[in-house]
């Protein structure tokens, strides 16, 4: 009988397994489930991008191995995109690497930067791949609590000295999943200084940078010294409803980009060039679909937040992302189970994102307005009973 590797054994259990089991059971019984859980856009990819993909698929030169950092044309388009949207200059040849989705790149990055026993500084609650990638690279995650009283920002000045001596990576993600928090310019400038002082790589996950309802989020790479210490991961998934397409990129410090590229060239053969061709259309074509998407999400979020307030919860309107981070009383897993069993509603328990997520539920608005309204009606009903 075989045994899995010790690194695999170190991975935490899947905390939502029981909720998934119950969800499938209820669906099989004919229950109309309303799923606020997974953050996967329900709207289709814009037609202009689909049309570009069709054209790309018909190009036989795209049928070969897409080896390398990405097509020169797509990397040039990314460089232009950053110049136009963030006033950031990027060298397409040295400072951009195309990925099979940003998650893939984030997961592989620790392999390029960590030695066994090295530490990565991981926000929690946070996207699980930050600490999972660290564990698989035989590194050690040090969790930085994100608390409401601190605006869901990590208190990097309180990280112990013995941890800083071994720290090699600092992960930051704003606009934030799961808390929907934004970050201000001053914090990021201090984080850049902190990383330079302690010789730490700052890894900025900007997957939700284009999903905002008012003021545009701060661009990390636009700040002084950012490229000296860090890189930024970006994705087409959320902005253009392309989660299933699996395409993203990382940009910034050329030495870090080169290190990750070396890992990737030994693991995968790149991103299908027809998808990169469609990616060019996504970021250089009309952006009306993005504006419409923000308007749709804002309307949905208003419906959800107003409904939760009517149900008796204290909640502020998020500035962006398609997540609502709801403070609750008691266990997040028990509350999520209660919602599922009593109302057929799926919400994500906050504890699944880290210990500081306990006492919260994450709701996604990637479902139609009528479903959100019905979900609110059901929640009001059962919470009155409760």
Between 149 and 28, where is the model more confident?
Answer: 149
Query: What pLDDT sits at residue 27?
Result: 84
**Given 3-state DSSP classes, what are the helix, strand and coil percentages for the chain, each rounded to the nearest 5?**
50, 15, 35
Place 236 in a pLDDT band, splitting at 50, 70 and 90: very high
Q: What is the pLDDT of residues 117-135, one digit of tens each?
A: 999 999 999 999 999 999 9
Query: What pLDDT sits at residue 137?
Result: 96
What average pLDDT is seen over the chain?
94
Q: How far is CA 351 from CA 128, 219, 276, 359, 360, in A?
A: 11, 29, 36, 8, 8
Percentage of the chain with pLDDT > 90?
86
Query: What pLDDT sits at residue 118?
Result: 98
Place 362 in a pLDDT band, splitting at 50, 70 and 90: very high
Place 385 in a pLDDT band, splitting at 50, 70 and 90: low
Q: Which of 9-18, 36-45, 68-77, 326-335 has the lowest mean pLDDT?
A: 9-18
Q: What is the pLDDT of residues 279-304, one digit of tens each?
A: 999 999 999 999 999 999 999 999 99
Query: What pLDDT sits at residue 239?
Result: 96
Average confidence (pLDDT) over 309-326:
93
Q: How far apart are CA 77 and CA 71, in angstroms?
A: 10
- What are the boundaries of each domain within the chain? 6-44+288-385, 47-284
- Give CATH for domain 6-44+288-385: 3.90.1150.10
Query: What pLDDT sits at residue 38?
Result: 80
Query: What pLDDT sits at residue 6?
Result: 87
pTM for the predicted model, two decimal places: 0.95
According to DSSP, residue 279 is labeled H
Q: Is the pLDDT of residue 11 over 90?
A: no
Q: How far apart are CA 363 and CA 201, in angstroms?
A: 31
Query: What pLDDT sits at residue 29?
Result: 86
Place 386 in a pLDDT band, splitting at 50, 70 and 90: low
Q: Which of 22-26, 52-56, 281-285, 326-330 has the lowest mean pLDDT?
A: 22-26
Q: What is the pLDDT of residues 147-202, one digit of tens each?
A: 999 999 999 999 999 999 999 999 999 999 999 999 999 999 999 999 999 999 99
Query: Residue 61: CB partners within 8 Å, gap ≥ 6?
Result: 273
- Encoding tokens for residue 314? 């204290």
Average confidence (pLDDT) over 91-116:
97
Q: Return the CATH number of 47-284, one of 3.30.230.70, 1.10.3720.10, 3.30.460.10, 3.40.640.10.
A: 3.40.640.10
Percentage of the chain with pLDDT > 70?
98
Average confidence (pLDDT) over 10-32:
79
Average confidence (pLDDT) over 64-79:
95
Q: Return the number of other C-beta atoms located less than 10 Å from residue 235's C-beta.
A: 26
Query: What pLDDT sits at residue 16?
Result: 65
- The H-assigned helical ranges of the chain are 6-9, 17-28, 47-57, 72-86, 102-113, 129-136, 161-166, 185-198, 226-229, 254-265, 273-284, 288-310, 332-343, 369-385
Query: What pLDDT sits at residue 176?
Result: 97
- Residue pair 236/98 in contact (Cβ under 8 Å)? The answer is no
């Amino acid at each position: 009988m075989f045994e899995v590797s010790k690194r695999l054994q170190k991975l935490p259990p899947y905390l939502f397994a029981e909720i998934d089991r119950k969800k499938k059971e209820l669906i099989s019984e004919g229950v109309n489930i309303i799923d606020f859980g997974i953050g996967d856009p329900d709207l289709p990819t814009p037609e202009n991008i689909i049309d570009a993909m069709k054209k790309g698929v018909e190009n036989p030169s795209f049928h070969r191995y897409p080896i390398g950092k990405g097509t020169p044309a797509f990397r040039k388009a990314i460089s232009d995109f950053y110049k136009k949207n963030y006033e950031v200059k990027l060298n397409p040849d040295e400072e951009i690497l195309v990925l099979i989705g940003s998650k893939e790149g984030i997961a592989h990055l620790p392999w390029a930067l960590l030695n066994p026993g090295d530490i990565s500084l991981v926000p929690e609650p946070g996207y699980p791949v930050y600490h999972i990638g660290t564990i698989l690279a035989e590194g050690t995650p040090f969790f930085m609590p994100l608390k409401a009283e601190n605006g869901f920002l990590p208190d990097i000045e309180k990280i112990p000295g013995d941890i800083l001596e071994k720290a090699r990576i600092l992960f930051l993600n704003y606009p934030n999943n799961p808390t929907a928090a934004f970050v201000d310019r001053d914090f990021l400038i201090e984080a850049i200084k902190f990383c330079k002082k302690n010789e730490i790589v700052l890894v900025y996950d900007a997957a939700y940078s284009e999903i905002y309802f008012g003021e545009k989020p701060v661009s990390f790479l636009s700040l002084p010294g950012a490229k000296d210490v860090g890189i930024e991961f970006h994705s087409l998934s959320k902005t253009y409803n392309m989660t299933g397409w699996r395409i993203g990129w990382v940009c910034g410090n050329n030495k870090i980009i080169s290190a990750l590229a070396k890992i990737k060239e030994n693991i995968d053969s790149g991103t299908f060039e027809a998808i990169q061709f469609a990616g060019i259309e996504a970021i250089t074509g009309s952006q009306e679909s993005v504006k419409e998407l923000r308007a749709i999400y804002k309307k949905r979020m208003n419906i959800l937040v107003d409904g939760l307030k009517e149900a008796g919860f204290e909640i502020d309107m998020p500035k962006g992302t398609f997540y609502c981070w709801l403070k609750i009383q008691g266990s997040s897993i028990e509350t999520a189970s209660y919602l599922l069993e009593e109302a057929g509603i799926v919400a994500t328990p906050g504890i699944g994102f880290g210990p500081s997520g306990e006492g919260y539920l994450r709701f996604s608005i990637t479902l139609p307005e009528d479903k959100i309204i019905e979900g609110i009606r059901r929640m009001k009903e059962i919470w009155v009973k409760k």
